[in-house]
Amino acid sequence: MTDSAAVAVDGLRVRRGGRLVLDGLSLKVARGCVTGLLGPNGAGKTTLIRCIVGVQVVESGTVSVLGEPAGSPQLRARVGYVTQAPSVYGDLTVRENLAYFASILGASPGRVEEVVETVGLGEAEGRLVNRLSGGQRARVSLATALVNEPDVLVLDEPTVGLDPVLRRELWEDFHALAAEGRTILVSSHVMDEAARCDDLLLLRDGLLVAALTPGELRERTGLDDLEAAFLRLAEEGHE
């Protein structure tokens, strides 16, 4: 049943720049969970995410989100997307950026103030994004995706460059959103973030190595350290 999964990927093949990045990938992302998409650089995480939000040209295979084909017009207000590099207007203030995206998404103007607080940018909301630090810019980009409270939130390495305190707060926010029944898919190449996920999807060379919980990963490999466990699993896949 595809309806039980927030995202269902089946036989997905994607070629980017002549290279086959995803070669028949199939996986599911459960609703109401925080799912971690993990794998080394070049594993195909970003390409998969681009397919899920519907901006990637796909060679073959299907991707459905909330039962609709990925990228359908009905999904555009229901799926939030945070790109790896902050994609906001550098020549607008934090508040102006959020106000613009809020009005596209049909969010209430009051939400702007709320998300500014959520990402801890209350002090900086009147400043131009270009004048902010890298971590602050990443938070503006993140806030943009939170402004209309999407049903599915897809984040491509959202915590890169953020300090540990803010990282922990954001992970708490992700879990709070999941507790409301929203689905969070977070990519990361930092294995210590894996422990904070409900489910893990381990990707390598465009293929799914494993789909399991952090506990199962430790159990299966007999290793407590998730980084070592992932490496163990990746090596097994190689043989």
Partner 1 sequence: MSPRVTGATALRVLRQLRHDPRTLVLIVAVPCVLITLLKYVFGDSNVFDRIGGPLVGIFPLVSMFVVTSITMLRERTSGTLERLMTMPLAKLDLLLGYAGAFALVAAVQASLVAAVAFGVLDLQVAGATWAVILLAVENALLGMALGLSVSALAASEFQAVQFLPAFILPQILLCGLLAPRDEMAQLLYWISWVLPLTYAYEALARVTQGLYGPELAAYVLAVAGFIVAALFAGAATLRRRTP
How many residues can be counted in the chain? 239
Binding residues among 13-72 for partner 1 as defined by CB under 8 A: 15-17, 53-58, 71
- Counting residues that bind partner 1 (by CB under 8 A) gives 35
List the interface residues with partner 1, window 125-144 (CB under 8 A): 128, 144
- Least distance in Å: CB of 187 to partner 1? 16
The angle formed by the CA atoms of residues 137, 32 and 161, to the nearest 5 degrees, is 20
> Rounded to the nearest whole angstrom, what is the least distance from the CB of residue 56 to partner 1 in the complex?
6
CB contact at 8 A, 17 and 23: no
Among 85, 176, 179, 190, binds partner 1 (CB under 8 A): 85
Element (H, E) at 117: helix 110-118
Nearest to partner 1 of 137, 196 (CB atom): 137
Q: Are strands 34-38 and 183-188 parallel, antiparallel or unpaired?
A: parallel
- Which residues, including other chains, have CB under 8 Å from residue 83's CB and lie 6 or more apart? 141, 156
- Comparing CB distances to partner 1, the nearer of 106 and 164 is 106
From 90-98, 170-178, 187-195, 226-234, give the range in contact with partner 1 by CB under 8 A.
Answer: 90-98
**Nearest CA-CA partner of 71 in 59, 83, 62, 82:** 62
Identity of the residue, 146 or 233, whose beta carbon is nearer to partner 1 in the bound complex: 146
Does residue number 101 form part of the binding site for partner 1 (CB under 8 A)?
yes
Which residues, in sequence order, are bridge partners of residue 81? 154
In this structure, the strands spanning 68-69 and 19-30 are unpaired
Cα angle, residue 195 at apex, residues 191 and 198 outer, rounded to 5°:
120
79 binds partner 1 (CB under 8 A): yes
Name the residues that contact partner 1, by CB under 8 A: 15-17, 53-58, 71, 73, 76-77, 79, 81, 83, 85-93, 96, 99-101, 103-106, 128, 144
